Amino acid sequence: MIKRREPVGGLREKVRVPRVHLALAALLTLLGGACTPQGIGGEPVTVPPPPATTGVPDSGPVTLTVWDQETGQVSKVWDRLNAEFEQHYPNVTIDRVNVDFGELKTLLKLAVSGPNAPDIVEANQGWPDMGGLVRAGLLLPLDNYAEAYGWIDRVPAAVRAVSSWTPDGREFGTGNLFGYTSLGEILGVYYNKQKLAALGLTVPTTFAAFEQALATAKSAGEVPIQFANNAAFPGIHEFVMIQDQMAAPQDLTDFIFGDRAVNPSFDTPENVQAAATLQDWAKAGYFTPGFGGTGYETSIANFAKGEGLFMITGNWIVADLGADNADFGFFPMPPMEAGDPPVSTGGAGFPLSITVGSQHPDAAAAYIDFMTNDHATSLLLRVGQLPLSTGDTSAEVEPGTLLADVVGAANAVAKANGVVPYEDWATPTFYDTLSASIQELMAERLTPQEFVAKVQDDYAEFQESRP
């Protein structure tokens, strides 16, 4: 649109929209509106037959393309495991594509639906990601592999449920298995042992005692909860940790799965109470000043440096603080009544799925088994990943370390059947709606009642549009 100096007449001419352009625009409009955008899968998927043998069949060279979103120390372990797998099966080449979480969310659907789909992908559970891929018929049901490799007995039913869908992708939490992992995640409260002792406090055993500890820390001039919400997702973690103590875990799970039989809603008295509590904490100054403008990584670094009594987040920062660190501890958010079973958001980590386009599904299944066997989980445990096949791994952990606390908390929650899935799996837009609304709630731009109503709007809209 850069215009040169021209005589007045020339300028006038330029302004006129040439007829050709108008005609072209009309043509485009006619062309449009003619064809329905097509899905890529089309055919309903069938469960592949059980493999003749476990392991990779030795029938010529096999290249397995794997898309994952692992970072840091965990990513290095993946490299090592990939090399070991190639060594074990000389005819196999692993082509690893490592992308970050946000990028994976953006690119995965495009990659899996394209002509050169990867064989194995880490697809986030829930309606936004795995749900769409299943509905499009782009992932293979793994039931027969699970049978052949004994995955079913290795992990709790709740872990399989969050990767289970009916083959048409209409119901979540039931049906066929579309992804598998033996590694888990847990949200909880990290604490600075020195500060807790200096304040004359012990690890709280009730929610009320936890709130009392916050007040004590605040009046002593400490930052009660290290927190940064520039990235918006940490706010979800603060909220669900409160919510988990106030609402029944089964109700929360039904809500996330969208179980039509119980017609769940976000607009419940328990959620209003949880929202009010979070808002009260923000009002009371229990969170790091300036939390809205600070990045998540910065908050981890600040907590490690000794700023803040508590930090509410997931097991994945263990490696940042140091698995063998004895200065920090970890506990599940304490229940309302002392002695009640612990409840916490978490559960399965990123599951591995096989795409419909894979030429070597049997080899891909062998790879998934290899990445989730005892050898893999023991290597990954040392970098802070929690094995879900509980019992046999606690012995490998040095007692008194941060990692021991995290493993202990995860086991306690799993044994009490208190694992609640991530709330942002509830609808394709839930992550955005919930994280933005929590920011508004904490800035007192929404009342707790307005907050639940706004989030419920998103939920209701999705439930109506569900096939």
Partner 1 sequence: MIRDLGQQAPAIPSPAVAVGTRRRRERFEPLPGESRRLGYLYILPAFLLYAAFNLVPLAQGVNDSFFHWDGITDGTWAGLANYKEFFTEAEIRTGYVHVLILMIFYAFLPIVIGLFLAAVLSRIRIRGLTFFRLLLFLPLVITDVVTAVAWNWIYDTHGPLNAVFKAVGLGGLIPSAGWLGDFNTALPAVGVFGLWGQFGFCLILFLAGVMKIPSSLYEAARVDGANAFHEFFAVTLPGLRYELQVVLVLTVVGTLGTFDEIYVMTAGGPGTATTVPAYLVWRRMFQTGQVGSAAALGIMLMLIVFAVAYGINRLMERGAER
Residues near partner 1 (CB under 8 A): 1-5, 7-13, 15, 17, 24, 28-29, 31-41, 105-106, 109-110, 113, 128, 132-133, 135-136, 138, 229-232, 289-295, 298, 428-429, 432, 435-437, 439-440, 443, 445, 465
Residue 456 Cβ, how far from partner 1 at the closest point, in Å? Answer: 16
The helix (H) or strand (E) run that includes residue 260 is none
Q: Which is nearer to partner 1, 201 or 460 (CB)?
A: 460
Q: Which is nearer to partner 1, 14 or 88 (CB)?
A: 14
CA distance 86 to 361: 16
Q: Which is nearer to partner 1, 91 or 439 (CB)?
A: 439
Measure CA of the first residue to CA of the last residue in the chain; give whole Å.
46
Residue 230 Cβ, how far from partner 1 at the closest point, in Å? Answer: 6
Q: In DSSP terms, which residues pair with 225 in a beta bridge?
A: 287, 310
In DSSP notation, 369-437 reads: HHHHSHHHHHHHHTTTPEESS-SSSGGGSPTTSHHHHHHHHHHHHHHTT-EE--GGGSSTTHHHHHHHH
CA distance 131 to 129: 5
- Contact indicator for 180, 368 with CB cutoff of 8 Å: yes
Q: Which is nearer to partner 1, 282 or 380 (CB)?
A: 282
Residue 110 Cβ, how far from partner 1 at the closest point, in Å? Answer: 8
CA distance 253 to 172: 11
386-387/352-354 β-pairing: unpaired
Residue 133 Cβ, how far from partner 1 at the closest point, in Å? Answer: 7
Residue 370 Cβ, how far from partner 1 at the closest point, in Å? Answer: 29
Q: Give the type of residue at 262.
A: V
- Contact indicator for 183, 387 with CB cutoff of 8 Å: yes
Residue 47 Cβ, how far from partner 1 at the closest point, in Å? Answer: 20
E strand residue ranges, 29-160: 62-68, 92-98, 120-122
Alpha helices in 247-393 (DSSP H): 249-257, 269-283, 296-305, 318-321, 361-372, 374-381
CA distance 442 to 292: 9
Q: Which is nearer to partner 1, 3 or 19 (CB)?
A: 3
Residue 141 Cβ, how far from partner 1 at the closest point, in Å? Answer: 17
Residue 24 Cβ, how far from partner 1 at the closest point, in Å? Answer: 8
Residue 449 Cβ, how far from partner 1 at the closest point, in Å? Answer: 17
Nearest to 356 by CA among 175, 167, 183: 167
Residue 239 Cβ, how far from partner 1 at the closest point, in Å? Answer: 14
Q: Which is nearer to partner 1, 46 or 63 (CB)?
A: 46
Q: Give the type of residue at 73.
A: Q
Q: Which is nearer to partner 1, 168 or 374 (CB)?
A: 168
Nearest to 465 by CA among 429, 413, 418, 433: 429
Written as six digits, the tokens of 91 are 């005819």
Q: Give the type of residue at 194.
A: Q
Q: Which is nearer to partner 1, 90 or 295 (CB)?
A: 295
Written as six digits, the tokens of 244 are 């988990």
Q: Which is nearer to partner 1, 290 or 399 (CB)?
A: 290
* Three-state secondary-structure class, residue 213: helix
Q: Which is nearer to partner 1, 197 or 443 (CB)?
A: 443
Q: Which is nearer to partner 1, 375 or 445 (CB)?
A: 445
Residue 270 Cβ, how far from partner 1 at the closest point, in Å? Answer: 23
